[in-house]
């Protein structure tokens, strides 16, 4: 998947719903106003592989299942997902280098059409206090950089991180890694459960390739208009 060449193309709309009919409506409204549509755990658990196939008819799919298991199991899951031909697939960087390398090897079986593998670093809902609670000292930036190094060396094509680490990753790794960035909030919109956030324009200025945006679009009275307004704010 090439880097986006339009403002709308930089937006990945997260279709987070357990209602497959609603998902179809959102996909229809957002397909031509965004670069990709994200199927995450809520929708995949409700609709299974069929929902991915249906949404893929409208736009490239970012399949966000955040795989995290022993290497053999993750490699098997990647092989099972390849027939769905997602453009992007997520796995947790915390699974470690052997897990990421096994996922990459499995993905290679799809040849040139293989999904882009994105390693999720530190969830954008976590702040320094939460990280410290689970035994990670040093704060989010340090942990994101540590996981970024491991994931990129093991074969990930890119990373998922918050807007607050993007510039630091670009400083360390340059333009090559694809950076996909959730935790994006247009000024004035509710944070919800997100902890490390910035506005769409700030995330792009820091060096994000794609922005993952859910509720500020899907929770709007007119999701299509909300996506268009965000794209416009990137000009
Ligand atoms: O992998 C992701 O997409 C992801 C990683 C992360 O650290 N934080 C995060 O919010 N996400 C996803 O990005 C989307 C953000 O949704 P909103 O908070 O509604 O904009 C959700 O679908 C999350 O599953």
Residue 87: which CATH number? 3.20.20.70
Is 73 annotated to bind a ligand? Reply is yes
Would you say 19 is a known binding-site residue? no
- Domain assignment present for residue 227? The answer is yes
In the residue annotation, 84 being an active-site residue is answered as no
| Ligand 1 atom closest to 183 (CA) | 10
pLDDT, tens only, 186-223: 999 999 999 999 999 999 999 999 999 999 999 999 99
Reference 68, options 37, 33, 42, 103; nearest CA is 103
> Is 194 marked as binding a ligand?
yes
Question: Three-state DSSP class for 163?
Answer: helix
Question: Are 199 and 187 within 8 A, CB to CB?
Answer: yes
Burial 138-177 (b: 16+ CB within 10 A, else e): eebbbbbbebbebbbebbbbbbbbbbbbbbbbbeebeeeb
What's the gap in Å between 107 CA and the centre of ligand 1?
23
Task: Tally the C-alpha atoms within 13 A of residue 136's C-alpha that lie toward its C-beta.
Answer: 19
The residue segments making up the domain with residue 182 are 8-233
CB-based contacts of 111: which residues, under 8 Å, 6+ apart? none
Confirm whether 140 is domain-assigned.
yes
The per-residue pLDDT for 1 is 87
Residues of the chain with pLDDT under 50: none
CA of 183 to the centre of ligand 1 (A): 7
Q: What sign has the CA pseudo-torsion 227, 56, 89, 44?
A: positive
Please give the distance, rounded to the nearest whole angstrom, from the Cα atom of residue 37 to the centre of ligand 1. 12
- Choice among 4, 7, 53, 66 that is catalytic: 66
Give the per-residue pLDDT at 78. 98
Q: What's the domain count of the chain?
A: 1
Q: Is the CB of 16 under 6 A from ligand 1?
A: yes
Residue 171, annotated as binding a ligand:
no
Report yes or no on 2 lying in a domain: no
Instruction: Give the ipTM.
Output: 0.99
Q: How far is residue 54's CA from residue 86's CA, in Å, rounded to a whole number?
A: 12
* Cβ–ligand 1 contact at 123 (below 6 Å): yes
Instruction: Check residue 6 and report its DSSP letter.
Output: S
């Amino acid at each position: 998947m090439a880097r986006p060449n339009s403002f709308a193309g930089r937006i990945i709309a997260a279709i987070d719903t357990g209602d497959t009919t609603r998902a179809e409506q959102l996909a229809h409204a957002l397909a031509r106003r965004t670069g990709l549509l994200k199927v995450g755990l809520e929708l995949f658990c409700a609709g299974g592989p069929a929902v991915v196939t249906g949404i893929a008819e409208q736009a490239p799919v970012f399949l966000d299942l955040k795989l995290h298991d022993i290497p053999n199991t993750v490699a098997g899951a990647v092989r099972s997902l390849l027939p769905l031909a997602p453009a992007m697939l997520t796995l947790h960087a915390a699974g470690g280098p052997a897990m990421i390398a096994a996922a990459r090897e499995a993905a290679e079986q799809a040849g040139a059409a293989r999904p882009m593998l994105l390693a999720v670093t530190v969830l954008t809902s976590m702040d320094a206090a939460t990280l410290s609670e689970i035994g990670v000292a040093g704060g989010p930036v340090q942990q994101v950089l540590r996981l970024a190094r491991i994931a990129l060396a093991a074969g990930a094509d890119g990373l998922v991180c918050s807007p607050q680490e993007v510039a630091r990753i670009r400083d360390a790794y340059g333009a090559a890694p694809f950076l996909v960035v959730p935790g994006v909030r247009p000024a004035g919109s509710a944070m919800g459960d997100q902890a490390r956030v910035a506005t769409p324009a700030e995330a792009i200025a820091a060096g994000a390739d794609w922005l993952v945006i859910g509720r500020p679009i899907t929770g709007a009275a007119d999701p299509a208009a909300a996506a268009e307004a965000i794209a416009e704010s990137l000009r």
